[in-house]
Chains A and B, each alone.
Chain A
Amino acid sequence: MKGNSMRILDTKEIENCVYRLARQAGLRLTDSCRTALKEAELLEGGAARFALSTVLENERIAQREGMPVCQDTGMSCVILELGQEVSLSGMPIADAVNEGVRRAYEDGNFRKSICDPLTRVNTGDNTPAHLHIDIVEGDNVFVTFLPKGFGSENMSRLNMLTPAEGVEGIVNTIVETVKIAGSRPCPPIVVGVGIGGSFDGCALLAKKALTREIGSSNARADVAAIEREALEKINALGIGAQGFGGKVTALSVLCEIAPTHIAGLPVAVNIQCYCVRCEKEVL
């Protein structure tokens, strides 16, 4: 072991990074989301077009006035890819992440949306964040901040298909989930899909898929084909922006895949509203 080659990183730097990303994420859409919304605006008419122009104008107001694009500033999903040659010092890493969230939501006048599931008492500072850590090679730390609104999270589903259901079953599951969601999750949506893995791992794949660029394709041709087929079928549903009817019900279907058990075919469908906010930084 080359102990002396370890990079020392104070978790205060992670806290500050989470703070920066959270503040930025609340106020703007991702570039690929904005581009996709502008393209959708050109395709639509009537109330759907009005909804799309309003949400684009809304982002300009949010930027100009330093206000959150959406009042649902979300559950703070933080994904850390931590290089195994990094040695962390300072406060415990989860505390650092939560401190970054706490400060950002207070300073940014963001809504605090986290509560006890039974008593419904609000924690008052949007913590705890939903923190996921992957250990990766190298000495960098990749930080992703995804504030996840629950209008769309509520419409998400995990399905344990049988292997016999195959690709057809996967596509049907994705389309059916979007159909049931209807106008409720603020369409045009982005659909994050996990295929394979375990019960919990599959859901995580779907969440990670939502951190990809809108319009990007999975590197595997057979997975990319599922993305294309599902998107086409979703847009044939006619739900449209805000459920006002139209050609664009989803901006993108993003699938991530992992090996699974011989007996199973888990499919997780994580729905994201059209306010896609996701910020990334490398430390």
Chain B
Amino acid sequence: MKKITLPMTKEQLKALQAGDSVLLSGTIYTARDCAHRRIFELLDAGMVPPFTLEGAFIYYAGPCPAPQGKATGSCGPTTSARMNAFAPRLLDLGLGGMIGKGEMNEAVRAALVKNGGVYFAAIGGAGAFYANAVKRSELVAFPDLLSEAIYKFEVEDFPLVVAMDSHGTSIY
């Protein structure tokens, strides 16, 4: 499997093709339904989001609490389609792409093409497996959301499949 490391340039992202299996390392940010709503509230109020969107990757996930000695608890992907309403605007603001599970819609596909972004699929239901690939975790924002808070993960060899590439091709 091809190894890739974030941050990636637009050219590097363009080289990824739907269907490629990759092992991803680097920094990603967890966010799901509630965190997205909060980010949008900040953006609507003209404020900055809790992390720099430019080139960043969002991981659609809500981890379990970390057991002692672990960076995180189980942390597989959640269903990405619930974030269809949020992804295009974030991609327009510079987001590099997303990681989740399952298909996303036409608006997301178009936004990926327009902005040179990539959507990766992680293997749903593999929470313990992915937790072992998270080396460090840091709370970034919205602690009151518990598992839905934004965490910064440093990951090593996260196994993913390129689900939608920057050329408009989708595996679904």
A172 within 8 A of B: no
Which residues on A sit within 8 Å (CB–CB) of B67? Answer: 65-67, 109
Give chain A's interface residue range (CB within 8 Å of chain B).
35 or more
In the complex, are the beta carbons of B21 and A58 less than 8 A apart?
A: no
From B6-14, B39-47, B48-56, B57-65, the one touching the partner chain is: B57-65
Which residues on B sit within 8 Å (CB–CB) of A47? Answer: 19, 21, 161, 171
From A88-96, A130-138, A182-190, A201-209, the one touching the partner chain is: A182-190
Task: Pick from B75, B129, B145 the residue with the most CB of A within 10 Å.
Answer: B129
The majority secondary structure among interface residues of chain A is loop
B117 within 8 A of A: no
Which A-chain residue is minimally distant from B146 (CB atoms)? Answer: A122
Residues of B within 8 A of A (CB): 19, 21, 33-34, 61-67, 70, 73-76, 78-79, 81-82, 101-103, 121, 123-129, 131-132, 145-148, 159, 161, 171-172
Pick from A57, A66, A69, A183: contact of B101, CB below 8 A. A183
Task: Pick from B21, B125, B127, B148 the residue with the most CB of A within 10 Å.
Answer: B125
Given the complex of chains A and B, what is the CA–CA distance between A73 and B63 in angstroms?
10
Pick from A111, A154, A242, A275: contact of B64, CB below 8 A. A111
In the complex, are the beta carbons of B128 and A58 less than 8 A apart?
A: yes
Task: Pick from B19, B131, B132 the residue with the most CB of A within 10 Å.
Answer: B131
Which A-chain residue is minimally distant from B1 (CB atoms)? Answer: A50
Distance (Å) between the CB of B36 and the closest chain A CB? 12
Which residues on A sit within 8 Å (CB–CB) of B147? Answer: 71, 111-113
Given the complex of chains A and B, what is the CA–CA distance between A70 and B129 in angstroms?
9
A120 within 8 A of B: yes
Also in contact, A154 and B79, with CB within 8 A (given A67-B67, A109-B64):
yes
